[in-house]
Structure 1
Amino acid sequence: MADSYDLSDEGYSKSGKRLGMYIYILPNLMTIANLFCGFISVIYSIQGEFKMAAIAVVIAAVFDQLDGRLARLTHATSKFGAELDSLCDLVSFGLAPAMLMYLWALQPYGRIGLMACFLFVACGALRLARFNVQVGVVEKNYFQGLPIPMAAGIVTTSFLAFNDLGWTPDKFRSLLCFMVVLMAFVMVSNFRYRSFKDLDLKERKAFKYLVAGLVILVVVAMYPEIMLFVLFLSYGTLGAVFGILQLGKKRKLMKANAYAPEATKEEDLQEEQDEE
């Protein structure tokens, strides 16, 4: 019977035997790679290698996309994977970009800069926690609040854009501090952002869409550091503007969507044999 199992952190059944858990290896390895990139980014920021720290966050975002896609393609979604993904995202897209921004630009502001970066991390944690508890009742085509990878992308690519243009943060510290605080509040807002999970690239489209995609690819390839910052910032700004002006489709509740992790099942657990 399913109720004979205790799904607590201790992992013991009512009979007193320890429980092990079956997990999906490939998507969770991608999630761990995401965490590794976030960890490396923090180390690079401490060492003053801000460009490498920013690149590590961008690579972490690639792994973050891969783990979700792999889980859905292989039908390997699980509650364990969802919780692990959120914990890793907090490091890679919360702590790592905040460390980069503080040590690169906001450290001269002292406590103000420190608390602005902490606010970014804290709101990122709240954003992830809210997403986990609402994943079964919100529209799959929209996010509630700016996703934390996008917020991290805006923060980290701001350094890449400044570095490519040869700018220093000295004259822009106030603007950068305001940007970090704004991203923090937008993450925990109720603004709706398109998730593009309903976008099916396998469908046949008009020829003009291919031409448009080619133009975007060429522009981004010419100035990748600057254009990534522009794209991330545009996504975050447009969602906030639409939210303030209450434009777009009215929010509605939906049943649990196909991207929601499945609950832990009895067959995912096994009793470990006592060695004694």
Structure 2
Amino acid sequence: MNDFSDPPLEPAPELAVRPRRKGIYILPNLFTLAALFGGFYAVVMAMNGRFEQAAIGVFSAMVLDSLDGRVARMTNTQSTFGEQMDSLSDMVSFGAAPALIVYEWALQGLGKLGWIAAFVYCAGAALRLARFNTNIGVVDKRFFQGLPSPAAAAMVTGFIWVMDDMGYKGAEHIEWLTWTAFAFTLYAGLTMVTNVPFYSFKDVSFKRSVPFIVIVAIALGFAVISYHPPLVLFGVFIVYGLSGYVVYFIRKAKGKPVSVIAVSTDEPDEKGLHQ
């Protein structure tokens, strides 16, 4: 027997597999970027004194923001990147943009009170978005906790749009209009950070069949909006902006819980109500 036989061959080292780079889904993020552009466009228009175009930019961002999540779910392209991008876009379009627009339009005439009101709105939007992201798993999905930031932006910029349409191109020298804008800004900013429940419409299924009259009603709704968009849209969001307090006091009067935060998502009564 040969004592000097060759040592056994060592297995060849495995080739290192390069980790695959994470891609970005383009379709839903295109809607998010378009919404972000709407907010940026609104700020630029306000800086140039074109407040009607600024309001249209914010409302366009609202429509696009409502589509990006639905498109992601329909095409199965949800991602953490998309969620973070959506929050940052919302902060610009429905937080910073409305605050800057209303400040340029009316609040700068109030001095320190003006920019404080604008900051309260901006901070309220940031806090509301942060709370939404952290509480998403324990909030009853039928309701928003506090006024959603797009609706708050619609209240503030909708008021400006209506007044601009009536011929008030700037309000810094009109006392009653300045203080009305101040009140709207504070109301929207503070309502965003309350615990008041606002209906989310997330339990409305577009896959279910509906009576024919519903389609007729939707068509009539589009016709009414097209008749006078500033006034109709502003009226709709004013009603929505007050509806949360109506729901709050009705539930409180009936002895029902007014909080939309679940103590435990495992409870039978909470089944199916959370994301």
Q: For residue 7 of structure 1, what is the aligned residue in structure 2?
A: none
Are 1:240 and 2:241 an aligned pair?
no
CA distance in 1, matches of 2:50, 2:162: 15
Structure 1 segment 170-249 matched on structure 2, within 5 A: 170=174, 171-246=176-251
CA distance in 2, matches of 1:192, 1:75: 29
Deviation string for 1:93-142 (max 9, x for gaps)? 11111111010111100110111001100010000000001111112221
Are 1:166 and 2:167 an aligned pair?
yes
Q: For residue 51 of structure 1, what is the aligned residue in structure 2?
A: 52
1:181 positional shift: 0.5
Q: Give secondary structure in 1 for the equivalent of 2:106.
A: helix
TM-score (normalizing by structure 1): 0.81
Aligned residues: 245
Q: For residue 13 of structure 2, what is the aligned residue in structure 1?
A: none
Task: Write the letter of the residue equivalent to 2:242.
Answer: T
Q: Is the 8 A contact 2:144 2:198 kept in 1?
A: yes
Q: For residue 115 of structure 1, what is the aligned residue in structure 2?
A: 116
Give the direction of change, closer, same or farther, for the CA distance of 1:37–1:259 in structure 2 (3 Å limit).
Answer: farther
Task: Write the letter of the residue equivalent to 2:243.
Answer: L
Q: For residue 36 of structure 1, what is the aligned residue in structure 2?
A: 37
1:20 positional shift: 4.1
Percent of pairs with identical residues: 41
Deviation string for 1:67-111 (max 9, x for gaps)? 111011112222221111111110011111111101011110011
1:19 positional shift: 8.2
Gaps of 5+ in 1: 1-16, 261-276
CA distance in 1, matches of 2:119, 2:42: 17
RMSD after superposition: 2.5
Q: Is the 8 A contact 1:44 1:53 kept in 2?
A: yes
CA distance in 2, matches of 1:259, 1:40: 35
Q: Is the 8 A contact 1:136 1:257 kept in 2?
A: no
CA distance in 2, matches of 1:125, 1:94: 7
TM-score (normalizing by structure 2): 0.81
1:203 positional shift: 2.0
Residues 135-144 or 225-234, more deviating: 135-144
CA distance in 2, matches of 1:186, 1:19: 44
1:241 positional shift: 2.8
1:245 positional shift: 4.7
1:167 positional shift: 4.2
Residues 157-166 or 178-187, more deviating: 157-166
CA distance in 1, matches of 2:186, 2:220: 33
Q: For residue 68 of structure 2, what is the aligned residue in structure 1?
A: 67
Task: Write the letter of the residue equivalent to 1:175.
Answer: T
Q: For residue 11 of structure 1, what is the aligned residue in structure 2?
A: none
Higher relative contact order, chain-length normalized (CA < 8 Å, sep 6+): 1
Q: For residue 83 of structure 2, what is the aligned residue in structure 1?
A: 82
CA distance in 2, matches of 1:18, 1:123: 41
Q: Give secondary structure in 1 for the equivalent of 2:198.
A: strand
Residues 208-217 or 91-100, more deviating: 208-217
Task: Write the letter of the residue equivalent to 1:188.
Answer: V
Q: For residue 105 of structure 1, what is the aligned residue in structure 2?
A: 106
Q: Give secondary structure in 2 for the equivalent of 1:82.
A: helix
Q: Is the 8 A contact 1:186 1:240 kept in 2?
A: no
CA distance in 2, matches of 1:102, 1:219: 30
Task: Write the letter of the residue equivalent to 1:209.
Answer: V
CA distance in 1, matches of 2:111, 2:234: 26
Deviation string for 1:16-71 (max 9, x for gaps)? x9984332221112111111121121111111111111111111111111111101
Gaps of 5+ in 2: 1-17
Q: For residue 144 of structure 1, what is the aligned residue in structure 2?
A: 145
Residues 240-249 or 93-102, more deviating: 240-249
